[in-house]
Structure 1
């Protein structure tokens, strides 16, 4: 099988990279994945070879958001880890027929200088919809556009991205949909829908935000929604929710833990069951990035609130609001305000219908992963790259 090197930088990017990799595998390609942020669990779950160090940094991949986060990553060994990543990319590139980058300008730099041409880019982070037009800011930086011009295929996440890039010297930009909507996986669940879906995210924000979500759940008794947490693979041990008891079910997937409160409130914590939780959700409470956008794309109204970071800060929340519009209701980070937001959605079919329309308009239709994989396959065929390169 002809190897393709996949380089990604983020938990959401890994999910998308794994979805694209599965479609490429169906077309006859082997996959070598190098995740630059985190442990690359989506690749591992899909059965792909994962190369390079697989460590979580304190910033969760958001080192440039603050000097404090940057220095914390440096102290945790970011330099040595990154050098090991670069070596892994170079080694995997020796046998690859192409490099697929899933992420932003950093992943693109690594893929361009250390990967194997031809280069393909799935730019799933930058959004014209979410871009705040002020000063000299650009949704895609000058450096990123410079590197994009050296790629064979550039696949932005929305049609506006294709138009903007083509107008600025990236003619190979081609919108084929947003593969976030194809990055669903998981086992079925026993608790019956509809769910009140809690999405605390894949970064350390989750340890701050989930306790607030749980307190909001206590205020929502009698709503008719089953509270379910979609836990995104973080260690469970640091989770502390005052007044709540956490018990394991002994399962590795599905409902792995139960959270109970003395007042009788029960919440199911799930792992490896995101597809079931998403498709059964009536309303979601979220401090997540990719998972929130996936939920919006499938018509789930979202109530979000800012955290202290590293990811779901006030600025990040406002950016996501610009992207998702009426699909996301931002509220203050207090259980009472969160509960009120959920009630507003659930009590108003009109607000839920507006949220569904806005989410689907922002995220497009499923099937993009297959379309992008087929486009990459066609480009490789046109270049005669049907055999693995000699070592």
Structure 2
């Protein structure tokens, strides 16, 4: 049985999914030596696990100007090329090929890039396809005639060259995010499975503190990539300014390593918010008030706060999907990017069946927010759609069991 596993992941959301699967796999195989090669950014998601000795990051790492979204912007691609993308990619390929000579298995998490790298190793591998879903062209609001027609002709959002890589005799497992997408791949001879979505694992079900129960509760997600997150935070504050609530309204703003509260404080002061005492039981780092509205900032609070919201205001990727999966519908506000562009927001809305509604401006977001706060029937309907599209928790454990049986116990091949 192999004693080592290399995990490739290409993005922040993919890193989170990879980490959850690694944790579940190591519960089953405590002696498994896991190495991680983050293909986008520095893989900070893995830092705590690495410090605890659970895994090791290997290979070259570099933060690029586009934040990993050069495929959505020509200017982002040019900036990444100038910053050293070719050398970084060559380093990734060399790392994977060296690993392949040991004949130890690999796990690719993401889309074509990690899939192709895993295949190029010459070793056995498994693939968790995270970003693509046939829901984005089969249903949901909006319509993209050319792209939808292309996917309809194929019968899958995945492309023929991706089917070929997934169909390799060395590919021991293909797992995708939902049954609809798995059925589309099986029609092309790829034995894809949909064991569940690890993104819904590890989220807390903490009870709402009694002191907060009487307030309307919004969850504000500005994203984590700088400087985009700061620009998006300002635009979301503009939408809140148009709300003018008559009753107490709590805005929960969970943040990660970035942006820091110190970076957000000047933006809050500029919008008329003043610092106040943190409510008991909230777990917040800072509290700010403007009229009947209290905004809380809290590092690492998303697992708890995401279950307390009624509506989300979002310019984020993975966190928005997790929020909607917990039954909290959201309004999104696309900007200049590089990540949260109009195309990204529309695709996310279709993926989630309209449980995220795209707004063209802060003013439109304010108007839709007022309407939804007064329409519990629509909120309930969107909540059910979001839960159904994201699926129930437990995907990490089911994936770990499949990997144990089909990749780890299978040994080199």
Following TM superposition, by how much is the alpha carbon of 1:374 offset from its aligned partner in structure 2, in angstroms? 0.3
Q: Which residue of 2 aligns with 1:226?
A: 250
Provide the rounded CA distance (Å) in 1 between the counterparts of 2:89 and 2:274.
36
| TM-score, normalised relative to structure 1 | 0.87
User: Does structure 1 residue 255 correspond to structure 2 residue 256?
Assistant: no
The alignment partner of 1:366 has SS state of coil
Provide the rounded CA distance (Å) in 2 between the counterparts of 1:108 and 1:368.
20
Q: Which residue of 2 aligns with 1:32?
A: 35
Query: Which of 85, 90, 104 is residue 92 of structure 2 equivalent to?
Result: 85
Provide the rounded CA distance (Å) in 1 between the counterparts of 2:130 and 2:304.
23
- Provide the alpha-carbon RMSD of the alignment: 3.1
Give the 3 Å change call, closer, same or farther, for CA 25–248 of structure 1 in structure 2. Answer: farther
User: Does structure 1 residue 216 correspond to structure 2 residue 239?
Assistant: yes
Q: Which residue of 2 aligns with 1:144?
A: 162
Count matched residues: 380
Query: Which of 309, 321, 344 is residue 281 of structure 1 equivalent to?
Result: 309
| TM-score, normalised relative to structure 2 | 0.82
Give the 3 Å change call, closer, same or farther, for CA 74–140 of structure 1 in structure 2. Answer: same
Provide the rounded CA distance (Å) in 1 between the counterparts of 2:161 and 2:387.
31
The alignment partner of 1:136 has SS state of helix
Following TM superposition, by how much is the alpha carbon of 1:289 offset from its aligned partner in structure 2, in angstroms? 1.4
Give the 3 Å change call, closer, same or farther, for CA 381–265 of structure 1 in structure 2. Answer: closer
Query: Which of 380, 384, 388 is residue 407 of structure 2 equivalent to?
Result: 380
Provide the rounded CA distance (Å) in 1 between the counterparts of 2:331 and 2:196.
25
Provide the rounded CA distance (Å) in 1 between the counterparts of 2:411 and 2:85.
39
Question: Gaps (5+ residues) in structure 2?
Answer: 138-143, 278-282
More moved, 16-25 vs 342-351? 342-351
Question: Gaps (5+ residues) in structure 1?
Answer: none
Q: Which residue of 1 aligns with 2:374?
A: 347
Provide the rounded CA distance (Å) in 1 between the counterparts of 2:56 and 2:212.
36
Q: Pairwise mapping of residues 1-391 of structure 1 onto structure 2 (< 5 A)?
A: 2-28=3-29, 29-47=32-50, 48-93=55-100, 97-114=104-121, 117-131=123-137, 132=144, 133-137=147-151, 139-150=157-168, 151-170=171-190, 172-182=191-201, 184=203, 192=212, 195-204=217-226, 205-218=228-241, 219-236=243-260, 241=267, 242-243=270-271, 255-258=284-287, 266-334=294-362, 336-380=363-407, 383-384=410-411
Provide the rounded CA distance (Å) in 1 between the counterparts of 2:45 and 2:57.
10
Give the 3 Å change call, closer, same or farther, for CA 46–349 of structure 1 in structure 2. Answer: farther
